[in-house]
Chain A
Amino acid sequence: MNFFKSGLQSVLGTSENQETMTGAETVERLVDRVQSSTMLEDRRDACRALKALSKKYRVEVGAQAMYALTQVIENDRTDNEIVGYCLDALCNIVSPDQFEEESENPHISVNIGEQFTEMFIKHPDHISLILSHLEEYDFRVRWSAIKLLTCLLANRTKEIQEVVLVSPMAISRLMDLLVDSREIIRNDSLLLLIQLTKGNANIQKIVAFENAFDKLFDVINEEGCADGGIVVEDCLILMLNLLKNNSSNQQFFKEGSYIQRLSPMLILTEEAEEVGMTPQKVSNIHCMLQIIRVLVSPNNSQQSIAACQKIMRSCGLLETLCRMLMSSGIPPDILTELINSTAEIIRGDGNNQEYFNQVLAPSNPPKPAIVILLMSMVNEKQPLVLRCAVLYCFQCYLYRNEVGQNDLIHTLLPSTKEVPATLTSGQLLCGGLFSMDAISNWFSAVSLSHALIENQNQKEQLLRSLVATSSSSQPTSLLQQCFNLLQQGQFKYQSKIGILMFLIIWLSKCEMAVRSFLSINGTISFLIAQITANEHDENEYLIQGLCAFLMGICIQFNDNGVEGNRRDDLCQLLIKRIGIETFSGKLNEVSKHESYSKAGKQPQIRIKSPADLLLDYEFCKLFKSLEPTVSKLITSFTNGNESVNELTISQEASSLVAQYKNIIREQDHKIQTLNEQVKQLHLQNESISSKLTETQTSMSQINDQNILLRAQLTAASSSGVQNQHSNMNGFYDQHATKIHELEQQVASLSHEKSHNETKIQFYEAENARLLTEIDQFGATKENESTNEKLRCEINELNSKVEQMSKDQEDLLELLADQDLKIKEYRKRLKNLGQQVEGDDDEDD
């Protein structure tokens, strides 16, 4: 303090009277000198003095000297010393920090630096001026300009960013600072860039374009990577800024093979494992893990996640992380982030999930990493964040992983094989489900539910699972046991919520599971009792909502297989015992609950205290997709459509599809029988045709014989048998007429036949068309009108077939008639003494 005073005195050449007076006065006099003195020396001294006063008399210097200082920076730019003083003085004025020197000043307001910043940047030129001084190599100027910009940015980030963005070379210059050989410049410019890149995608892009990642990795390497100091951490924080919510830069990072550069930095030496980590190393590794997570965050596009996940496996990063995960002496903060990172690297990637499944912990005997992790999850003594991370990791392992889901459920099924030597995941989770620790109950229930998501087969398989809670008790089904747990009075609300979510996921879209659940004594009355209970606590409301949803699921996916709990029965119960409005109100409790919106935001569980552990992301997703269906189902009762038939028709997709399937099956069957009939008609037709040909042949034979007879008759008459002749003549005339008639009949018969054939052709064509239509119908499944039309057509066709069969019968009768007549004629001819050729045997 004395130094400053004496310094001031020497500059001003006067002694101070009163402190308060001197502050403002001194500054005024100094400003006057800065502006009026023609001697550089003088101006320099005055600026030095202003700098010295700028902490204690910040208000005075800021108010009176800002303009003068800026002028000097502009006009005296060739003198580095004076520019340095001015930049420093300005830096003090706008600093967001409070100085020790001003702590006793009651007039100083907290945001004084911010106010001066605002004044200073009213002229955008001022910022350009500061930016231009970054080019000055002189240490004092460059360093002071960096610090001033950093202060300005801290106070008014957005405004400064806008100015920097439109100054073409500004970012370029700032990036050059990163390769300044003077460490302090490099380090402080890192801090400046961290401020500058916050939340501005355009700046982030340009910084990346200016080779930021290369430069930063160079610095990190120089500084000793993960073992390096705070500069390494700053570099990593800047990288994180560049990548967060910036898909372009993420793509650039991936394409530039920077994942491959980051990966080896996470390899821990054995020595490090033994000695443990310094707090700085913990911070560095923490930042690296965050960078990894930004690249595979579930919020990114699926395409970009998948590409990064693949690289992370192939470059050995996943392996490195898994090894670190299983090594000893990893500090808890890192362990949690490590588990979360691993989770997101494997999420939804079959190969990575399979790799993770194979990881073994170096225990004796080696245990699967998954088992080790689940052991921590169901262990009350482990920190909550760690347990949450394990759950997340396990969920990510099961996500879209049918094989993993099947494996897990398999460990819960009764097997003929011997009990495995080590504990299985399934056993651990069952243990957690039935433990006294509510958090373990919740974690286990949610874990199990994730093995059933989108996995119809395992929902049915798990119904076979038997559990014995104590060695003495008889094994009961897991489903029954879950219901027992729900009924226990001392069971905490969190455990109930967990079990209810598990049951809902299990029963949803699985009629078999619903049937099993409804077969358990008292399930529905329990749900009704819960829904109608008079509760006052928010979490109890949530439980009621879940119970209502579960009941809705039991109605929705009911196959009417349980006597007394058919869809109709449950609807009646709902209307009479709960009331539709109450039910809807309770159902709404779920989505109204705070945790619904929180949990639904991202797959990872983000909670502050154990009490926040309520709803799960995947459950929220399911609720969101099924709740409208259940709601619609319930409101359909209100509309007076209480009849179950109506209800059935108004059902959503699943039942509709089943309905249509039935119709299609019926129609298939009909088509088959029709085809059969067509075949038979064909056969009949053929036989009729052959008979017709036969008849025609015999007719022509008869004709020939007739001609012969006539000729013989003429011969006879000429031999003088006149009487007989006239008789015979009359007979013959008659005969000829008859034959003529017969011929006509045959003609009409063949006409009939060809007509019949056309009909059959038409029928076949119709049939083919029908088949294609059915095909189309099968594809759309929802076209009821087509269906209706088809049914009509089938009816029509049926009647046509009937008609045709009748025609056919008539024809056959006619043929038989014809046959008879022909026979008669033959007989008569015989009687007339004629030798009839052909069907002799018949007549004998």
Chain B
Amino acid sequence: MSYAYLFKYIIIGDTGVGKSCLLLQFTDKRFQPVHDLTIGVEFGARMITIDGKQIKLQIWDTAGQEAFRSITRSYYRGAAGALLVYDITRRETFNHLTTWLEDARQHSNSNMVIMLIGNKSDLESRREVKKEEGEAFAREHGLVFMETSARTAANVEEAFINTAKEIYEKIQEGVFDINNEANGIKIGTVSTPTNPSIGSNLPGGQSSNSCC
């Protein structure tokens, strides 16, 4: 179970938009229609591969209730990525995005990647928020956008993986300080194939010649 990087994600958004279902679909590949609020495991982990590297995702599902908004704030600082979820069949969840985003921007580190997700795309007949509206909101606030269905699994993989790709690119660009664990990124214990140690290229048994 060794990995090159570990990314911490949080999932935020109003209650009932499908955060827990998205997590379960991504980690366990199943959909549980009636989610028990009281005993739900609000943590999941999965390994993905990006650019040939193993990346471990640690995902923390937060309480969406307004009353617990202040608790949610504690998670922002330590996260590298956030999935901000609304429900395409309930406009008010879309309307609340601004406050969620303000909260996130205020309490997170500035490099946190935020992915906007319009969930329940399977319920086309009950749609209240047009896809274009989601796209416009994302463009305006500089977010990546995607419509998903935790029920049919449509775009769920992509949502989590694309977020990871964004983070990965930021690391490559040197934007993220990967040595500060408070950013929600951890370097794995294994050496990555792109960083072969110099010693391995030398013929064996000649370490005495090395200048270091």
A interface vs B, CB < 8 Å? 165-166, 168-172, 202, 205-206, 209-211, 214, 247-249, 251-252, 255-257, 304
Contacts and interface: CB of A to CB of B under 8 A. Distances in A.
Interface of B: 1, 8, 39, 41-45, 58, 60, 63, 68, 70-71, 73-78, 107, 181-182
B73 to A, nearest CB: 4
A169 B71 CA distance: 10
Q: Is the interface of B mostly helix, strand, loop or mixed?
A: mixed
Contacts of A169: 74, 77
Given A165-B70, A171-B74, A209-B60, A252 B107 contact: no
A256 B75 CA distance: 18
Nearest to B103: A168
B74 A247 contact: no
B78 A251 contact: no
A247 B42 CA distance: 8
B36 to A, nearest CB: 11
B181 A211 contact: yes
Which interface residue of B42, B43, B71 has the most chain A CB atoms within 10 A? Answer: B43
Contacts of B1: 257
Given A169-B77, A247-B39, A257-B1, A206 B71 contact: yes
Contacts of B70: 165-166, 168
Nearest to B61: A248
A629 B76 CA distance: 56
B76 to A, nearest CB: 8
B42 A248 contact: yes
Nearest to B60: A209
Contacts of A251: 41, 43-45
Contacts of B39: 247
B42 A205 contact: yes
A202 B71 contact: yes
Nearest to A169: B77
B71 A249 contact: no
B46 to A, nearest CB: 9
Contacts of B181: 211, 214
Contacts of B78: 172, 209-211
Most buried by B among A165, A170, A205, A251: A205
Contacts of A202: 63, 68, 71
B58 A255 contact: yes
Given A202-B71, A210-B78, A255-B43, 13 more contacts: A168-B73, A168-B107, A172-B77, A202-B63, A205-B42, A206-B71, A206-B74, A209-B8, A248-B43, A249-B43, A252-B45, A256-B45, A304-B41
A172 B181 CA distance: 12
A206 B42 CA distance: 12
29 contacts: A165-B70, A166-B71, A168-B70, A168-B74, A168-B77, A168-B107, A169-B74, A169-B77, A171-B74, A172-B77, A172-B78, A202-B63, A202-B68, A202-B71, A206-B71, A206-B75, A209-B60, A209-B74, A209-B75, A209-B78, A210-B78, A211-B181, A247-B41, A248-B41, A251-B43, A251-B45, A252-B58, A255-B44, A255-B58
A172 B79 CA distance: 12
Contacts of A257: 1
Contacts of B43: 205, 248-249, 251-252, 255
A213 to B, nearest CB: 12
A153 B76 CA distance: 25
Contacts of A168: 70, 73-74, 76-77, 107
B146 to A, nearest CB: 25
Nearest to B72: A168
Nearest to B107: A168
Nearest to A257: B1
Nearest to A166: B70
Contacts of B76: 168
B77 to A, nearest CB: 6
Nearest to B77: A172
A252 B9 CA distance: 13
B77 A165 contact: no
A377 to B, nearest CB: 36
Nearest to A210: B78
A256 B188 CA distance: 12
Nearest to A164: B74
A210 B182 CA distance: 8
B75 A255 contact: no
Contacts of B42: 205, 248
Contacts of A252: 43, 45, 58
Nearest to A208: B43
